[in-house]
């Protein structure tokens, strides 16, 4: 998957000098931040190119933690509402490093999904977890929804 910038049409409005982007999953405008821009483009990629149903995509799902809550950027569910993929989105200027992988690994302690994706819209890493062998491997491409069923 190459750079997603400007690949998909996005709906941006300005209210009182603040930019908002339309979130097709939550069906509302949300404040436009660099990370939100990446998330909205990535969601469009998942729906348009990889054929994931918008009905199976969750945004900012809360995770309990000691004296705190974490929020996943994107969770993709299977048809039985079981989490299938976690996606961590970063702004385009944020380098994907070990800290980002540790963040998504922490989230996966709750979800136990087989696929973890980290993206900044330019770089994308897809990590497949094998719980039987307690190992992982990186994929070159995100599987389509039909390949995961």
Measured from the Cβ of residue 10, the count of other Cβ atoms closer than 10 Å reads 14
Say which residue the tokens 């087989």 belong to: 114
| Predicted confidence pLDDT, tens digits, the chain (149 residues) | 445 555 777 889 999 999 999 999 999 999 999 999 999 999 999 999 999 999 999 998 876 655 666 788 999 999 999 999 999 999 999 999 999 999 999 889 888 999 999 999 999 999 999 999 999 999 999 999 999 87
Measured from the Cβ of residue 9, the count of other Cβ atoms closer than 10 Å reads 6
Range of the domain at 82: 12-148
CATH of the domain at 116: 3.90.1570.30
Q: How far apart are CA 75 and CA 61, in angstroms?
A: 7
- 6 inside domain: no
Q: How many domains does the chain have?
A: 1
């Amino acid at each position: 998957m190459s750079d997603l910038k400007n690949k998909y049409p996005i709906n941006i409005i300005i209210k009182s000098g603040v930019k908002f982007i339309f979130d097709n999953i939550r069906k509302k405008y949300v404040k436009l931040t660099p990370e939100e821009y990446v998330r909205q483009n990535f969601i469009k990629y998942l729906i348009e190119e990889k054929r994931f149903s918008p009905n199976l995509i969750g945004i900012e799902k809360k995770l309990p933690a000691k004296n705190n809550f974490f929020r996943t950027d994107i969770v993709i569910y299977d048809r039985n509402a079981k989490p299938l993929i976690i996606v961590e989105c970063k702004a385009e200027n944020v380098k994907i490093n070990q800290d980002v992988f540790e963040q998504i690994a922490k989230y996966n302690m709750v979800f136990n999904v087989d696929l973890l994706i980290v993206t900044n819209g330019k770089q994308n890493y897809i990590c497949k977890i094998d719980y039987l062998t307690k190992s992982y491997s990186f994929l070159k491409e995100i599987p389509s929804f039909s390949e995961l069923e």
